[in-house]
Amino acid sequence: MEEESTLKHLIKAIQLGELCTVRQQLSEHVNKHSVIYTQFGKSGDTLLHYAARHGHLDILHYLVEELNMNIEVYNNDYKRALHEASSMSQYECVRYLIARGAKIDSLKKVDWYTPLMMACTRRNLKVILELLNHGADPMLEGDLAIIHHLLLAKPEVWKTKSKTGRTPLHTAAMHGCEDAVKIMLQSCSYEPDEKDSCGVTPFMDAIRNGHIAIAKLLLENHQASPSAVDIIGAQSLHQASVTAQEEALSFLVHNLGIDINSRATKLELTALHYAAKEGHTSAIKTLLALGADLHCISLHDAAIRMLLQLRLRDTEDNTARQYAKKPHIKEVFESLEM
């Protein structure tokens, strides 16, 4: 009974931010480790949860750095100290926990909220941006609620960009979050074909990852250009060839009229070059069926084998075999002659 009363006083001292009292009471316990990891009440909160929730940075510092308390300790709802600090808009505590290596996107039980989602419910832009700037994923699990909260808390948050110039629209398009893309196209003011530092547009992200429905949304509602090029001069067609997105290739050529033989970079590479370089034999077949000209050289052996088995002919001026310099490539030609 006396022990229970002492612990209640300890919790009260943390809630009130009385560091000296906390130090004194913990010093009187033989096993401090056992006390600091004790879980209180139905929620199972620890002393760290109380300190973070009430914004007492000095007590947080004491528990973590002097008593070596694990910042990832969680309660019965899987909430960690960062959840508590974020949900109560305790900015300095959020900064401290992140600096100490707290997991940014840890999930809590039942509704699976992340610290960012909990910060959004309080509409504290300072905390929200702190989490975003340290890698919090606004697209985690394609959670539409978090997007609504972000836009509600600060309508201009859609302008947030990563260090490589990528926008939330890029991220949503890349991961196939169709509903998220719809919300952003309706509520945000992105420029059509806004490019990241590599010149990649959201449309390119959608195509090279096979998200055709999103590509259509960007075309219809955002005036995206299917022939836009990145910083090396590659179009979505070339990028889809690299990732072997055959349905996307057919969509670009059949539905949008993209030239299957359009060239990229100073080397004037075609989609067939890119597919061959990656050794995507199935994609090569698709490109040829779409009308690609056979002028590729330096192909992977698997690609060469497939092309030869299809009995594709060389041009009169240059033969593929003449370009074969690597031993394993020459062996492909020789094996097919036997």
Pick the CATH number of 229-338 from 3.90.870.10, 1.20.1740.10, 1.25.40.20, 3.10.580.10: 1.25.40.20
**Cβ neighbourhood burial of 338 (10 Å; 0-12, 13-18, 19+):** exposed
**Confidence at residue 235, expressed as pLDDT on a 0 to 100 scale:** 96
Q: How far is CA 331 from the centre of its chain?
A: 42
Residue ranges in the chain whose pLDDT is less than 70: 1-5, 30, 106-112, 123, 137-146, 149-150, 153-154, 295-338
**Confidence at residue 258, expressed as pLDDT on a 0 to 100 scale:** 96
Contact 168, 175 (CB under 8 A): no
Encoded tokens for 73: 């300790």
User: How confident is the model over 244-277, as pLDDT tens digits?
Assistant: 999 999 999 999 999 999 999 888 889 988 888 8
**Confidence at residue 82, expressed as pLDDT on a 0 to 100 scale:** 93
* Fold match, 1-134 / 229-338: yes
**Confidence at residue 334, expressed as pLDDT on a 0 to 100 scale:** 56
- pTM here is 0.55
**Confidence at residue 325, expressed as pLDDT on a 0 to 100 scale:** 45
Domain boundaries, the chain: 1-134, 229-338
**Confidence at residue 155, expressed as pLDDT on a 0 to 100 scale:** 74
**Confidence at residue 314, expressed as pLDDT on a 0 to 100 scale:** 44
User: How confident is the model over 40-78, as pLDDT tens digits?
Assistant: 888 899 999 999 999 999 999 999 999 999 999 999 888
**Confidence at residue 57, expressed as pLDDT on a 0 to 100 scale:** 96
**Confidence at residue 2, expressed as pLDDT on a 0 to 100 scale:** 54
**Confidence at residue 243, expressed as pLDDT on a 0 to 100 scale:** 96
CATH for 1-134 is 1.25.40.20
Phi/psi for 304 (5° steps) reads -65, -45
Distance (Å) of CA 325 to CA 317, 321, 333 = 18, 8, 11
